Amino acid sequence: MLYLTALICFSIHGMLSGQDHEMVQIGTQIWMTKNMDVDAGENHCYKNLKKNCEKFGRLYDWETALHICPKGFRLPTDEDWTRLTEEVGGLNVAGYKLMVGGKSGFNALLGGNYNGISDIFSYQFRQGYYWTSTPFSETAAWMRHFESEKTNINRSTVAKHYYFSVRCIKE
């Protein structure tokens, strides 16, 4: 399957501390190419080290993730992620194409996760977890999961007390 990617650079001045953010267009969707790193709501730098936020972005609980994208952007739905993975060839190859070094320009990072109940950080450099805005139940939501050395991307549900990366999509 063919997919269209275009790297778009522009400034979201004043919305995110005046930072410039790169975007990538894949199909008809426009995604940020970096994970969110806004100190708002419930969030953590992996192992509470600032250098991890600078490289991987922050890890957010689901409720916070719903509200941190700047004006004109939002947390992607489960359907948005499904469209993205279909655009790059489907679940079995999307991980390879969407991770850093893949041909899509999306640059998914393997920033690990944080379990807010057991207070444990896990899997940095080996796995990347991304929230969707789509709830599964009162206590769980849909997410996407990337893993090093794997070509696929996993679609699953997880408890909302976990802290994952956030990637925003243009409204």
pLDDT in tens, the chain (171 residues): 334 444 443 433 334 444 567 899 999 999 999 999 999 999 999 999 999 999 999 999 999 999 999 999 999 999 999 999 999 999 999 999 999 999 999 999 999 999 999 999 999 999 999 999 999 999 999 999 999 999 999 999 999 999 999 999 999
CA 157 to each of CA 19, 24, 135, 140, 154: distance values in angstroms, whole numbers, following the listed order: 32, 26, 9, 6, 10
Tell me the pTM: 0.89
Q: What is the pLDDT of residue 21?
A: 73
Provide the domain count of the chain. 1
Q: What is the pLDDT of residue 20?
A: 62
Q: Name the nearest CA neighbour of 130 among 113, 116, 117, 152.
A: 113
Q: Where does residue 147 rank: exposed (0-12), middle (13-18), buried (19+ CB within 10 A)?
A: middle
Range of the domain at 152: 5-170
Q: What is the pLDDT of residue 14?
A: 34
